[in-house]
Amino acid sequence: MPFWHRLIVAAVVFGVVSLLARIIDWWLARRPLPPEATTRYRVLRRSISVSILVIGFFSALLVIPQVRAVAGGLLASSAVLGVIIGFASQRTLGNFVAGLLIAISQPVRLGDRVSYAGEDGVIEEIGLTYTLIRTREDARLVVPNEKLVSDTIRNASIRRRGTFAEVKVQVPLSADLGAAVEGIREEVAGERDASVFVSSLDGNATVTIRAAAVDERAAQRLESDLRVRVHGRLRSLGVWG
């Protein structure tokens, strides 16, 4: 087979694999699958894609006559090269293996609300070597998978598919804190699994309001609604002028 025929075959194979992955991604986005299924697919798909690229590259070296001799020399020295690469990429390989462990054991899933290193956020993406956590300020924490597996992480939605909307308000210590908390409880009594509690006393009293939502987008909408409603209730109680 001519050299350019082999290149066309390789390009077609990679194109078909890429197209199939995009179709499956589109299909998953349209179906309400559990977070664990989506997480496992995303990580394993990336692993398989990388494996196909690596295997395809070395297979091309062996079947193309022009570079077969070079490939033989590379394979003959692969043991020494493997040791060198192994030492140089210990962290990268560790993060890759950790990514596979996350996909299988799933301590976190896409869309989970977590607390890590003092930051609250949502698992936005789980890559082969790192995980993205979107914080409340819409920033991104880039956490190596190896650290995510070995460190302690608080997951608020691991046992349920839904999530929570959470709003925090500052109440002056000079105000009637008990009346403020009771008024907010009455305001959110109709929400599912609603809770209102004083989470800190530092300069002002911090009152935390939580309520269940079906998913992350619904939680964001509910948080906006709760801020407006809680603000109105506190103004009616005279907490704010």
Q: What is the pLDDT of residues 78-98, one digit of tens each?
A: 554 555 555 545 566 677 777
Residue 68 pLDDT exceeds 80: no
CATH 2.30.30.100 fits 163-236, yes or no: no
Q: Determine phi and psi for 64, rounding to 5 degrees.
A: -90, 115
As annotated, the residues of the chain forming the CATH 3.30.70.100 domain(s) are 163-236
CB environment 58-80: b (16+ within 10 A), e (fewer): eeebeeeeeeeeebeeeeeeeee
What's the CA gap between 137 and 193, in Å, rounded? 25
Residue 118 pLDDT exceeds 90: no
Q: Which tokens go with 214?
A: 């079906």
Q: Where are the alpha helices (DSSP H) in the chain?
A: 3-30, 35-63, 65-76, 78-88, 90-105, 145-150, 177-187, 216-236
What's the CA gap between 143 and 126, in Å, rounded? 10
CB–CB of 162/214 below 8 Å? Answer: yes
227-234: average pLDDT: 92
pTM above 0.75, yes or no: no
Residue-level length of the chain: 241
